[in-house]
Amino acid sequence: APGQMGRPRRKGQRLPTLAARLESPETVWQTVTVQWYGGQPRVLELATGTAVWYHVGKPTVPLRWVLVRDPQGKRAAQGFLCTDPSQSAAQIVQWYRWRWQVEVTFAEVRAHLGVESQRQWSPRAIARTTPVLLGLFSLVVVQAQRSQRDGNWKLPQAAWYRKERPTFIDALALVRRQLWAAELLRRSPGSGKLGKVRQELWECWSDLLCYSA
């Protein structure tokens, strides 16, 4: 305050918690429609405001908080914090939805390409290998998408579950099949007696090898 001794205050009175704001009748809600998982539109109710995160001995961090609740009451309410107060509440919720693709990508490269399981002791070696494996993930996806667009890929189905979109393991199996076929045909001898295998049996073997490799 004017005439008061000491440095200017870095924070004001403590604000209500997000749980308190969720239950407060004074909280102002706005209805928005966002693109949710699967690209489907979803109606949500948002409440937002600004605050600061303060801890003794650390810089003050401006925040925008966002409360999200389902108008139909089928899903629990959620709260989000963003360190860029200039962003809108709808944009922050959209960023939260986008994180799903990132999490799935890291889960797939860890499960199928060996990220985080490299047997390397040097941090520099890990720093070189991980981007290469992530790049390999992108190449596999691009090649599989190209084959699907050209109509050269029939998505495998199960009797109890029908997939509308391929998973990464499907894309990886397709690329393996294409690479193995090109390598085997290049080295295939032009003459000689070869045992014939029925096409159905050959396709079955190829699928098993592509998915288990």
Q: Would you state the pLDDT for residue 200?
A: 65
Specify if 7 maps to a domain.
no
Name the residue range of residue 95's domain.
18-105
Give the model confidence (pLDDT) of 157-168 as tens digits: 777 778 777 888
Look at the chain and report how many structural domains it folds into.
Answer: 2
Calpha distance 8→19 (Å, rounded)? 30
Task: Indicate whether 66 and 123 sit together in one domain.
Answer: no
**In sequence order, which residues have a C-beta less than 8 Å from that of residue 108 and are 6 or more positions away?**
137, 168, 169
Q: Do both 96 and 119 map to the same domain? A: no
Of the CA atoms within 13 Å of residue 150, those in its CB half-sphere come to: 7
Residues 125 and 200 in one domain: yes
Q: How confident is the model at residue 201 (pLDDT cuts 50, 70, 90)?
A: low
Q: Where a domain ends, among 60, 82, 105? A: 105
State the pTM of this model: 0.62
Q: Are residues 52 and 121 in the same domain?
A: no
Is the same domain home to 169 and 99? no
Q: Within this chain, do residues 36 and 118 fall inside the same structural domain, yes or no? A: no
Kindly tell me if the per-residue pLDDT of 156 is higher than 80.
no
Q: Which domain-ending residue is among 105, 135, 163?
A: 105
Token pair in block for residue 55: 């801890």
Q: In what order do the strands lie in the sheet with 61-69?
A: 30-35, 41-53, 61-69, 78-82
DSSP state of 160: T
* Pair 204, 151 in one domain: yes
- Alpha-carbon span 80 to 65, nearest angstrom: 6
End-of-domain residue from the set 105, 135, 154: 105
Shared domain for 29 and 99, answered yes or no, is yes
Domain assignment present for residue 207? The answer is: yes
Looking at the domain assignment, is residue 160 inside a domain?
Answer: yes
Beta-carbon count within 10 A of 84 CB: 11
- Bigger pLDDT: 13 vs 199: 13
> Are residues 64 and 101 located together in one domain of the fold?
yes
Residue 204 lies in a domain: yes
If asked whether residues 118 and 173 sit together in one domain, one would say yes
Reported as a single tens digit per residue, the pLDDT across 97-110 is: 888 888 889 999 99
3 state DSSP class of 117 = coil
Residue 10 within a domain: no
Structural domain includes residue 4: no
Enumerate the H helices of the chain as residue ranges.
18-23, 89-112, 123-149, 168-187, 199-212
pLDDT tens string 36-82 = 777 788 899 999 999 999 988 888 999 999 999 999 888 899 999 99
Cα separation, 178 vs 156, in Å, equals 16
Residue at token pair 């998982």: 37
